[in-house]
Amino acid sequence: MKNKRVIPWLVEIGLCLLCALAVALRRGVFTAGDPVKVYSGLCDAFFVPGILLFCFGLLAFSARGGIFDIFSYGVKSLKVLFTPFGKPEKHQRYYDYKMEKEALRGKPKPRTLILGLAFMALAGVCLLLFYQAGG
């Protein structure tokens, strides 16, 4: 049971570290001799996956919270309206549609938000080190 909780965390951390490694290689962190350039590159390397994860986490958290239900209901209503065989009198009300979707939806998981904030905090530490090194 604990493996099912740990594996998604490890996968997301691994993908973020892979992205950070790609950005660090692109910025030349491993070949730079100047600490200012190293800290600047590390700051960018941690900030890029951090902000991506944070934004995806906000989007997923919002979607799981039901923010976008109104759009899917609108598309469904348009389909009923413009289908010649649709029966508008049997069309589901929005409240019923929303309650049905909420019953099927799980709780929002803040894992992606937490990891994004952690990587942005690492970027903040690297930024402080950058300024202390004379950047």
The predicted-structure confidence for 48-77, as pLDDT tens digits, reads as follows 999 999 999 999 888 888 888 888 888 888
**CA angle in degrees (0–180, nearest 5) for 99-103-105:** 115
Residue 1 has pLDDT above 60, yes or no: no
Mean model confidence pLDDT for the chain: 86
Give the closest residue to 109 by CA, choosing from 17, 1, 18, 12. 12
Residue 84 has pLDDT above 80, yes or no: no
Q: State the alpha helices, DSSP H only, in 1-135.
A: 2-27, 35-65, 69-82, 94-104, 111-132
CB half-sphere exposure, 74, CA atoms < 13 A: 5
The predicted-structure confidence for 89-108, as pLDDT tens digits, reads as follows 677 888 888 888 888 887 77
Q: For the residues 14-39, what does the mean pLDDT come to? A: 90
